[in-house]
């Protein structure tokens, strides 16, 4: 797994930077009013207000909260799955993989 972004908590979600081989953009996770229990908790939008993903609140087996994020962009070969995990310093790290987090 590799870090592809760093974020900090804001009043409306999270703000930070998303960096991949094809993207290097400011990004934000915007909290949503959920319409049903399967709907995402956040939308991931980048500069220009383009939506590139969605995030759901989860809790790890170690009882630590995180966000499970699905990213997609025409420049990606396939959908990217990621986790936004809070570090000890309050900075949230976005870590990606090709397999979906459960």
The reported pLDDT for the residue numbered 21 is 83
The reported pLDDT for the residue numbered 47 is 86
Residue 100, classified by CB atoms within 10 Å of its CB into exposed (0-12), middle (13-18) or buried (19+), is exposed
pLDDT at 1 over 60: no
pLDDT at 97 over 90: no
| pLDDT tens, residue by residue, 15-74 | 999 998 888 999 999 999 988 999 999 999 998 889 999 999 999 999 999 999 999 988
The pTM is what?
0.89
């Amino acid at each position: 797994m590799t870090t592809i972004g760093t974020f900090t908590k804001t009043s409306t979600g999270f703000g930070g930077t998303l960096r991949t081989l094809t993207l290097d953009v400011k990004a934000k996770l915007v909290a949503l009013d959920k319409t049903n229990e399967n709907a995402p908790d956040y939308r991931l939008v980048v500069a220009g207000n383009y939506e590139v993903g969605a995030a759901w609140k989860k809790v790890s087996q170690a009882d630590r909260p995180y966000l499970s994020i699905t990213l997609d962009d025409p420049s990606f070969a396939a959908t990217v799955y990621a986790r936004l995990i809070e570090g000890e310093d309050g900075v949230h790290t976005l870590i990606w993989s090709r397999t979906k987090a459960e």
